[in-house]
Amino acid sequence: MKKLIIALLLLSLLAACAPQAAPTQALVPVSLPVGYIPNVQFAPLYVAIENGYFREEGLDVTVDYSMENDNLALIGAGRLDFAIVSGEQVLLARAQGLPVVYTAAWYQQYPVGIVAKSEQGIQTPADLKGKKIAVPVLAGASYIGLRALLSAGGLQESDVELDVVGFTQAEMVATDHDDAAVIYVANEPVQLEARGYTVDVLRVSDYLPMVANGLATSEQMLRDNPERVQKMIRALLRGIQAAAADPDAAFEICKKYVDNLATGDPETQKKVLAASIELWKADRLGYSDPQAWENMQAILLEMGLLKAPLDLSAAYTNQYVPEK
């Protein structure tokens, strides 16, 4: 009996001295607003989540589809870490004194354009003169893209007739209610072609490269936790790269996040994804072009949305974007 007790004591001591397994590090929760409804165009995020790219960086990312307009205000106030936003949003926020910074470009081409049936003969921005153009709202990326194209054609807003139609632009063109429409180049033109229409598209990026959607954070996050910024960018860029390399696999992943994707019109949605991928491509993924920032600021000044030039070097950084 004494030997048994001694043996048990020895086992207890050995167990106490044995190296303990390191506790699993908790993932950092990150809510990432994207400012739109679930869509195949968010495939890189879905791929990065499903393939574990964010988790490998210690992040638990969820996509936030709320249509909030104050995400940059929340970032500036320290109540939100990251958001997917466009370049003009960052500049307008900084003009209001918000300490927000654009850290990585997702879209390398500004995704806005104007679509028209080919019989309208709209081949250049100058051809828009006198046309009736459907526009979702007189604000945001669509309106700024429209103004950029008018400027490229030497036109003023008064040279065209604008028809504010909400998000029914494709139908306005299909039914000939309007001559043309301001659209996202990877979306409505694909839908119209799928319905059998022959269309022409004027792309903002062909005339005036401007900063499109990317990842924004706060100056404080960059100061206090640059490693987290680096991790977010690394995982996002892996998602972009993976989705572009295997669109079919990315589309299958999207089915988990986008309702009715498999049953609605999957072939058209695959084409939307393919068109979106073309807008993401770059020699250096994530890189933000300084000239695109200059162009964006010039348009905002021309529109009167900015009252004075900003220090663009404080509005964005390429410091956390990997080299080629």
Cα dist. 273→23, 252, 265, 267, 284 in Å?
40, 12, 13, 10, 20
Q: Strands 100-105, 180-184: parallel, antiparallel or unpaired by DSSP?
A: unpaired
The yes-or-no verdict on residue 108 having pLDDT over 80 is yes
Q: What is the pLDDT of residues 145-165, one digit of tens each?
A: 999 999 999 999 999 999 999
Same fold for the domain at 28-109+211-314 and the one at 112-207? Answer: yes
Task: Provide the pLDDT for residue 9.
Answer: 38
DSSP 214: E
The CA distance from 79 to 285, in Å, is 28
From the list 71, 31, 33, the residue with the least C-alpha distance to 54 is 31
CATH for 112-207, among 3.40.50.720, 3.40.190.10, 3.40.640.10, 3.40.50.970? 3.40.190.10
Tell me the two tokens of residue 233.
């960018």
Amino acid at 24: T
Fold for the domain defined by 28-109+211-314: D-Maltodextrin-Binding Protein; domain 2 (3.40.190)
Listing from the earlier edge strand, what are the strands of the sheet with 83-85? 83-85, 214-218, 100-105
pLDDT band at 261, cuts 50/70/90? confident
Spell out the domain ranges in the chain: 28-109+211-314, 112-207
The pLDDT score that the predictor gives to residue 22 is 38
